[in-house]
Chain A
Amino acid sequence: MKKPVRIIPMLEIKNGLLIKGINFEGFRVLGNARDFAQLYYSHGADEICYQDSVATLFGTSNLIKFVSETAKNVFVPLTVGGGIRSIKDASDMFKAGADKVLLNSAAIDNVKLLKKASKIFGSSNITIIIQAIKIDKKYYISKSNGRDLVNIDPVEWAQKVEEFGAGEIIITAINNEGLKKGFDIPLTKKIVEKVSIPVIAHGGAGNFEHIYDVIKNAKVSGVGIASILHYEAIKFLPKVKTKIGNTLYLDSVKKISKHLNTILKIKKFLKKKGVIIRDDK
């Protein structure tokens, strides 16, 4: 019996704020991450994923606080990543309420850490995020969302992390991320075919068709979605008061009073196309 394809809101956070990186513009502040997380939970998200984009630089202590605040009211699996560099970091994250931790840079620097973590916490609680970049038809993996290129092929890396105990892989196509032009289906498909652990596609969802395409063609276990959800949710979530980051965009958003459940809409759309999803009441 097939499992439903998981719809996973991806929240990029900084100091507990939900942000969205836009080329040449820096970071847009969209609101309080936990407001979004809770909204998506109530809308039927199958899992929530937090990625702290600055924790690699500034440590995880802030992130831990926001994770435990979020976990109070979110009763689906919560995956958390960003700045996790040791067994202790991971352990702290689990204690704060994370169900799975995301590793990227730390696993690239020292793949043995992955092996150790999966032994201690169980494979199924360790997810590897692969940030793949394509330059002149050649693929690389990267650290810090593409800032540091590493000359390893993403498909080979996927096989290696499975061997070292990863329980799941999120494949982020950096080139596609935020562009809303669809996922990198060929790359994602190749990884799905080469590993036997679940693979989540992320980066590029611009409309519901894109989500369906990657499920149908790459046979992924889940889809990570950001922009499509955030830019709808922002219209009715409370406005955040902050002095950090660029809030110009927030000021321009026209507020509406009606709650739009984009996750449910996506699931209904997929169901109509024959995809198995979870929509229990």
Chain B
Amino acid sequence: MINKRLSAGIIDLKFNNLFSIYKACIKAGFRTSIISTKQKTLNYDFVIIPGVGAFKSGMNVLKKNKYDEKIFNYLLKPNSFIYGICLGMQLLFEKSFEFGSTKGLGLIKGNIPELQKKNKKMKTNMGWCKIKFLEKKSKLSLKNFDNKHFYFVHSYYANPANNSDILAKTFHGNFEFTSVVKKNNILGTQFHPEKSGNLGIEFLRNLKKYKN
């Protein structure tokens, strides 16, 4: 069998870290490209939604460039796979409470609340945190990342409606939130693999194992 390199297309949300995720995907061995707004259909083994920034502006960019429709159409194809990172993951959900309430892509049931307001220190989760995979999901091949540190920067978190969509959780102080979600051919991580050192690159390299 020919060992074909898998392709990854990155959606340009017009935010900061496009360059980092682009380089990280190349490092992880993907044929990597930035998806141009002119592309009518998405033909990649993986479509990546990166993102740093606010939910509302992220959603605006998606809609303005009809990325939402393109994503829905892409997901109907056999062998398609969407991976959302940080804000990119949050956009997969139904709605966010960042600056009022904004509708998301609605691919995963649930919403995006703010990290605890009560304690000022809890406002932003920035730094290296461990991810803990849930027991029942232990069969999944990415279990070797269990209990390892990944890099997080966020002030909002994903609150999935269905427990079955939760793969891993993470503590921010005493507060536990969902750090990895998966539903069918959709994966999302709150952490940034492109900023998580060698382990982050390994995580990207192993994405294909999540396809099934």
Contact = CB atoms under 8 A, between A and B. Distances in A.
Interface of A: 1, 3-4, 6, 41-42, 44, 46, 68, 71-73, 75-77, 94-97, 99, 121-125, 167-168, 196, 198, 221, 278, 280
A125 B197 contact: no
A96 B20 CA distance: 9
A3 B53 contact: no
A75 B148 contact: no
A278 B121 CA distance: 21
A280 B171 contact: no
Contacts, number: 83
Contacts of B198: 42, 75
B197 A99 contact: no
A125 B127 contact: no
B92 interface: no
B200 interface: yes
Interface residues of B, number: 37
Interface stretch (B33-41, B77-85, B149-157, B181-189): B149-157
**Most A C-beta atoms less than 10 A away, residue of B127, B129, B151:** B127
B102 interface: no
A221 B196 contact: no
Interface of B: 16-17, 19-20, 23-24, 27, 52-54, 120-121, 123-124, 126-130, 148-149, 151, 153-155, 171-174, 194-201
B149 A75 contact: no
Contact of A280 (B17, B120, B148, B173): B148
In this complex, the member of B148, B153, B155 whose beta carbon has the largest number of chain A beta carbons within 10 angstroms is B153
Contact of A77 (B123, B149, B195): B195
Contacts of B171: 1
Contact of B195 (A72, A75, A96): A75
A75 B19 contact: no
A68 B17 CA distance: 12
A44 B197 contact: yes
A280 B16 contact: no
Would you call the interface of chain A mostly helix, strand, loop, or mixed?
Answer: loop
A278 B153 contact: no
Contacts of B124: 123-124, 167
Contact of A125 (B16, B120, B174, B194): B16
Contacts of A1: 129-130, 171-174
Contacts of B194: 75
B120 A196 contact: yes
Given A6-B128, A99-B17, A167-B126, 14 more contacts: A1-B172, A4-B149, A44-B197, A75-B24, A75-B194, A75-B195, A76-B195, A76-B196, A95-B16, A95-B19, A96-B19, A122-B52, A198-B126, A221-B127
Contacts of A42: 198
B74 to A, nearest CB: 27
B128 A4 contact: yes
A71 B195 CA distance: 10
B196 A75 contact: yes
Contact of B19 (A76, A97, A124): A97
Given A75-B196, A77-B195, A99 B126 contact: no
A99 B127 CA distance: 12
8 contacts: A75-B23, A75-B27, A75-B194, A75-B196, A95-B19, A122-B52, A122-B53, A168-B126
A198 B120 CA distance: 12
Contacts of B123: 196
Contacts of B23: 71-73, 75, 97
A196 B121 contact: yes
